[in-house]
């Protein structure tokens, strides 16, 4: 299997990996074999159906599955699917290329005082100090 970049430089860092042959390759313990539509695994096929990947986009995603593994591709797909994006296929390729990371979840607010409780507490401290307003 040969991976090439858009510039055709064999072995260069990937930006748009494409598969050059139709041999079965094993990676991360799973067999990957391209079918007649250019999709190489059930993961890529699922993404093709859910995100509307084209044949060339399937090849690119298959390259990321081979080079980074299925979990990496799944994580990027989850990021794309969690957002309201019009072009999800293009967003997946951008997420893979740019290594998008999931958003940091906001801290849980359970047990924390709400704004009214904080205001009342601040006013009580001010009155205790003799402040007037």
Token pair, residue 119, equals 């205001």
Q: Give 90-127 pLDDT, tens digit per residue.
A: 999 999 999 998 887 665 555 666 788 888 888 888 88
Instruction: Check residue 13 and give its pLDDT.
Output: 47
Q: Is the confidence at residue 84, as pLDDT, over 60?
A: yes
Comparing 44-48, 61-65, 106-110, the range with the smallest average pLDDT is 106-110
**Is 118 within the bounds of a domain?**
no
Smallest CA-to-CA distance from 5 within 73, 60, 72, 68 is with: 60
**Is 88 within the bounds of a domain?**
yes
Report the mean per-residue pLDDT for the chain. 74
* CB distance 93 to 57 below 8 Å: yes
Instruction: Check residue 73 and give its pLDDT.
Output: 95
* CB distance 45 to 77 below 8 Å: no
**Is 95 within the bounds of a domain?**
yes
Please give the residue that has the higher pLDDT: either 13 or 56.
56
**Is 36 within the bounds of a domain?**
yes
Number of domains the chain contains = 1
* CB distance 15 to 5 below 8 Å: yes
**Which helix (H) or strand (E) element contains residue 27?**
strand 25-27
**Is 85 within the bounds of a domain?**
yes
**Is 82 within the bounds of a domain?**
yes
Q: Is the confidence at residue 17, as pLDDT, over 60?
A: no
* CB distance 85 to 76 below 8 Å: no
Mean pLDDT of 79-99: 93
**Is 115 within the bounds of a domain?**
no
Q: Which domain holds residue 82?
A: 3-104
**Is 57 within the bounds of a domain?**
yes
Say what the pTM is. Answer: 0.51
* CB distance 16 to 24 below 8 Å: no
């Amino acid at each position: 299997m040969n991976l090439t970049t858009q510039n055709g430089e064999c072995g260069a860092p990937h930006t748009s990996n494409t598969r050059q042959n139709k041999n079965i390759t094993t990676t991360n313990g799973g067999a990957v074999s391209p079918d007649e539509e250019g999709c190489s695994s059930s993961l890529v096929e699922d993404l093709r159906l859910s995100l509307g990947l084209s044949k060339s986009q399937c090849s690119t995603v298959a390259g990321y599955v081979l080079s980074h593994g299925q979990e990496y591709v799944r994580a990027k797909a989850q990021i794309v699917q969690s957002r309201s994006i019009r072009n999800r296929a293009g967003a997946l390729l951008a997420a893979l290329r740019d290594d998008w990371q999931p958003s940091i979840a906001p801290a849980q607010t359970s047990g924390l005082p709400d704004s009214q409780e904080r205001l009342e507490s601040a006013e009580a401290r001010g009155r205790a100090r003799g402040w007037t307003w």
